[in-house]
Amino acid sequence: MIKHIVMWKLKDFAEGADRATNAAKMKEKLEACAALVPGTLKFEVALAQPGLEATYDIVLYSAFDSKGALDAYADHPTHQALKPFIGAVRESRQCMDYHI
């Protein structure tokens, strides 16, 4: 199994919207990718919540049964279509993939 965890910090204002609006839109777009490929075992998207510690605005926590499944997700056209929006609204990104 391979875990794929990504965190994004968003710009205060981008694409004609504020951070909260873009975070909600990004969450919706990411959640639409939850069942794109066979081998997706876990796919969870969360926004930073008031009262809880967070240095980033959005996190994706996912697990795939193989590196091949992760690669298929990464290359899927629906996932690829997210990149322009995410690139426009993000200030920074952190990612870590690891086998367990």
- What single-letter amino acid sits at 54? A
Q: Residue 52 is part of a domain; what is its CATH number? A: 3.30.70.100
Question: Three-state SS string across the chain, please?
Answer: CEEEEEEEEECCEECCEEHHHHHHHHHHHHHCCCCCCCCEEEEEEEECCCCCCCCCCEEEEEEECCHHHHHHHHHCHHHHHHHHHHHHHEEEEEEEEEEC
Per the structure, the count of domains in the chain is: 1
Q: What confidence tens digit (pLDDT) does each residue in 54-80 have? A: 999 999 999 999 999 999 999 999 999
Verdict on whether the full-model pTM lies above 0.85: yes
Q: What are phi and psi of 95, to 5 degrees?
A: -145, 145
Report mean pLDDT in 10-residue bins for the chain, 100 residues: 98 98 98 97 97 96 98 97 97 98
8 Å CB contact between 57 and 44: no
Domain that holds residue 35: 2-99
Considering Cα of 38, then 9, then 48, then 83, what sign does the dihedral take?
negative
